[in-house]
Amino acid sequence: MSDDKRIGRQFPTQSVVLPYTETKGGEAVLFYDQSSRKAMDWQKAMIYDIMAVGDEGLWVHIKFGWSIPRRNGKSELLIMRGDWGLKHGEAVLYTAHLTLTANSTFLKFLHMLTEQGFVENDDYHVNRSKGQQSIEWLKGGGGYINFRTRTGTGGLGEGYDTHLVDEAQEYTSDQETALQYVVSDSANPQTLMCGTPPTAVSKGTVFLNYRKDVLTGNSQDCGWAEWGVKKMSNVEDVDLWYLCNPSLGLILKERSVRGENRKDEVDYNIQRLGLWLSYNQKSAISRDEWRAVLAERTELPDKPSIFMGVKFAKNTSNVSLAAAVRLSDGRIFVEAIDCRPTREGNSWMMPYLKNPHVREIVIDGANGQTILADEMKDAGVKKKPILPKVAEIIEANSMFETAVLSGTLCHSDQPSLEQIAANVEHRAIGNNGGFGYISILEGADVSLLDAALLAHWICATTKTEKKKQRVSC
């Protein structure tokens, strides 16, 4: 058996690092390696860049961000930096999106200090109070680190030298407004942000905007590093796994990656291949993004399976109908059919719903879905409609926006659909980050877009019909 073991790429696929000749990173690695944790080569190179110092001993990078796919150990860099700051008299603030993450990192710090041979109450003091967890260094320097969950007001009035932002893809603008000034009074401030590219349910905007500014040269004293593909890629390509995951073959095993679910190719491109979609998860779909998926020529299958979406508007007295068809190239084509006042009744929809090529029909809107379902039965529509649950509505919205931005959806340039698609913003649905759409145009009806995304959802989630084999004797 060969001694050569394949490992992930040890340097970023894209980075911006300001020139330097001196760094404090070597000392941070030395501290870190005194525990059972051992810095990998890519982590060493990263912490050297992050902790580069200039002639006056000031950090070369006042801000530094990095994006790495999941389970590679990207947050360990925050621990290295925080450990160095703790022992050098810095006031350090660590923040995370989730309480579970903040608590887990706090416990990692305590375990590391124990492994390094330090003793609680002799070398450091610990506050374990929920929401106020902290470690105070009792030896020279008097550094301390506080662990917090981010809120829109947390950190106001507090002062720190270093802010460590974990789960940065969830770092929102209102949180930044509250936290960006906590290091302003420091003589040598530094803010570090690490995370993964935003997904369809991520609420943060700060990480995305920071990356854009650094990569386009619109920032000063800032650094960036990322591992990832630049466009939608083949999720089965093992070479890409190693390209985008620096710890693959080290702490992350190829067998584990092979066992991951890759059915949602867009999500897998984001989570494992580090793909940054060119959009802000919290904002509306832009006109340019919508026009980018215009199908100038559309060749529908000879006998297409048609998927229908019906939406009874919540805030207006309208009902909308739309259709979706899967094209031969795998894209899903959506088209709005009509939007009419509910006082006109539902009979106008029956010719469309009775089309023999219609495979599934989805109806949403408690103010009309049951009535329409009964009328369909009376009108002889054989297909039983699907009345989606809240979780399925959330999934439909997320899948639609992701499909627009990844180019797996297309449309026929209908002005009525474009007007609403390019003028919506997110509204919260449920308690777990789900979203729907609300119009930003006064009096505009979002139900036409809702009908289209329902049709897209049922088309995307319905298995392709297998053609029956014909046998001749």
Query: Which string of DSSP letters, residue by residue, matches 104-115?
Result: HHHHHHHHHHHH
Rounded Cα gap, residues 313 and 308, in angstroms: 16
Q: What is the pLDDT of residues 228-259, one digit of tens each?
A: 998 888 999 999 999 999 999 999 999 999 99
Assess whether 303 and 422 both reside in one domain: yes
Nearest to 246 by CA among 74, 79, 26, 80: 74
Residues 26 and 101 occupy one common structural domain? yes
pLDDT of residue 471: 44
- 329 and 367 both lie in a single domain: yes
Same domain, 306 and 253: no
In a domain, 466, yes or no: no
Same-domain pairing of 262 and 295: no
Task: Give, in order, the Cα–Cα distances in Å from 223 to each of 15, 56, 78, 243, 457.
Answer: 8, 19, 15, 21, 39
What are 49-68's pLDDT values in tens digits? 999 999 899 999 999 999 99
Q: Are residues 44 and 144 in the same domain?
A: yes
Where is the domain boundary, 221, 236, 271? 271
Q: 139 lies in a domain?
A: yes
In a domain, 51, yes or no: yes
Dihedral sign, Cα of residue 268, residue 273, residue 277, residue 280: positive
244 and 293 part of one domain: no
Residue 470 has a pLDDT of 46
Do 313 and 256 reside in the same domain of the chain?
no
pLDDT, position 201: 67
Does 471 fall in a domain? no
- What is the structure's pLDDT at 274? 96
Give per-10-residue mean pLDDT for the chain (473 aa).
76 96 97 96 98 95 97 97 97 94 96 97 95 92 92 73 96 88 94 90 84 91 96 92 98 96 86 78 70 80 88 87 92 94 93 94 91 94 92 93 92 88 81 77 81 96 64 42
Predicted local distance difference test score (pLDDT) of residue 278:
53
Do 320 and 193 lie in a common domain?
no
Q: Are residues 412 and 453 in the same domain?
A: yes
**175 and 65 in one domain?**
yes
pTM: 0.64
Based on the domain organization, do 239 and 314 belong to the same domain?
Answer: no
Residue 282: both structure tokens together: 């919290």
- Answer whether residue 425 is part of any domain: yes
**CATH classification at residue 232:** 3.40.50.300
Note whether residue 280 is domain-resident.
Answer: no
Considering the domain boundaries, does residue 398 fall inside one? yes
Q: Report the distance separating Cα 418 and Cα 420, nearest Å.
A: 5
Q: How many domains does the chain divide into?
A: 2
E runs forming strands in 50-202: 52-53, 63-67, 91-96, 124-127, 134-137, 144-149, 162-165, 190-195
Q: What is the pLDDT of residue 443?
A: 63
Q: What's residue 281's pLDDT?
A: 41
Give the Cα separation of 98 and 190 in Å (integer): 22
**176/222 Cα distance (integer angstroms):** 16
pLDDT, position 115: 97
Q: How much is the pLDDT for 427?
A: 80
In a domain, residue 297? The reply is: yes
User: Which structural domain, as residue segments, surrounds residue 238?
Assistant: 14-271
